[in-house]
Amino acid sequence: MTVAEFAKTKAGVDASEKRTLGEGLFRKCDACGDAVKKEDFERNLEVCPACGFHFHLAAEGWIDLLADTGTWTALDTELVAADPLAFVDSKAYPDRVEAARDATGVNDAILAGTAQIGRRPVQLGVFVFRFMGGSMGSVVGEVVTRLMERGAEHGQPVVLLSCSGGARMQEGSLSLMQMAKTVAARAKLREAGVPFVSILLNPTTGGVAASFALQGDVNIAEPGALIGFAGPRVIEDTIKQKLPEGFQRAEFLLEHGMIDLISTRQDMRDNVARIVEYLAG
């Protein structure tokens, strides 16, 4: 008997073929280590069926999850980042933006438009983390501002899902200016008496966390989401102290009154619909 013949299994399948049979069909959960069928992950909204760990859900997936079927209309899709600073790091900023556009299929790190949630019209925005880490530059700041201005004009609640590494360094101070700009738009929304529901995904950090993301009438976070300005390692290096366990995670913020609710992904639509109905009613 040859080596190849010996390798045959009782089912008549070559052992090498058997080893590759499951490739691409399973995913290993980073949290619990279980191997779970990819289709089970997808069916469960990118939440591990074994331990409940929330993996990243794309912006388009969030729109499908929250918006009533057939009600989403994208707006401000024509905006593209300029390069007033002629910024160059390992590549020129326009080249970096163009590469991100080609890779992601979106113009910048946010999708915004109108939709209905629970049959109530809302202004809905979702950060696109795969576009340069969801960083906030002039385009993102403008889109968030327009989102809130439309909400104030039409009396429609604003639902905004943040997922960002913070300000976009390639735009320098122009990026930091978006913090003040978006906070001013949020203030006008408050003056108009229009509800703002802020949903904080993993991660919500830097200039986004330090501006509008924690200024919702209701602030909701996903389980385990990292939320804060500077990262834990930066803070520890600065203050020369060890931070508490779970510092800057959603559960820590809820315990210390920084957010109002932690919602699993499966419950998010119902929770948002109920909150919007209550605040706008």
Q: What are the pLDDT digits (tens) for 96-130?
A: 999 999 999 999 999 999 999 999 999 999 999 99
Mean pLDDT to the nearest integer, 207-219:
97
Q: What are the pLDDT digits (tens) for 13-40?
A: 444 444 444 556 888 998 999 998 989 8
Query: What is the DSSP-derived secondary structure letter of residue 136?
Result: B
Q: Where does 56-280 sit in CATH, by number? A: 3.90.226.10
Confidence band, pLDDT 50/70/90 cuts, at residue 233: confident
The pTM score is: 0.89
Q: What are the pLDDT digits (tens) for 252-267?
A: 999 999 999 999 999 9
Beta carbons of 32 and 53 less than 8 angstroms apart: yes
**Cα separation of 148 and 194, whole Å?**
9
Domains in the chain: boundaries = 1-55, 56-280
Q: Does residue 178 carry a pLDDT above 70?
A: yes
Distances (CA, A) of 39 to 18, 143, 198, 265: 20, 34, 30, 17
Confidence band, pLDDT 50/70/90 cuts, at residue 162: very high
Q: Does residue 200 carry a pLDDT above 80?
A: yes
CB within 8 A of 117, min separation 6: which ones?
Answer: 66, 67, 68, 124, 159, 269, 272, 273, 276
Residue 9, both tokens: 């299994």
Q: Which residue has the tokens 């079927």?
A: 69
**Cα separation of 23 and 44, whole Å?**
20
**Cα separation of 222 and 54, whole Å?**
8
Residue 218, both tokens: 């209701």
Question: In DSSP terms, which residues pair with 157 in a beta bridge?
Answer: none
Q: What percent of the chain has pLDDT over 70?
A: 91
Alpha helices in 44-137 (DSSP H): 59-66, 93-104
Mean pLDDT to the nearest integer, 199-222:
97
Q: Which of 272, 281, 280 is nearest to 117 (CA)?
A: 272
Helix H or strand E segment including 154:
helix 138-154
Distances (CA, A) of 257 to 208, 235, 254: 19, 20, 5
User: For residues 234 and 108, which has the higher predicted lDDT (pLDDT)?
Assistant: 108
For the chain, give me the number of helices (H) and strands (E)? Answer: 11, 10
pLDDT at 116: 98
CA atoms within 13 A on the CB side of 271: 17
Beta strands 73-75 and 110-117: pairing type? antiparallel
Cα 160–Cα 163–Cα 166 angle in degrees, nearest 5: 110
Q: What are the pLDDT digits (tens) for 48-85?
A: 999 999 999 999 999 999 999 999 999 999 999 999 89
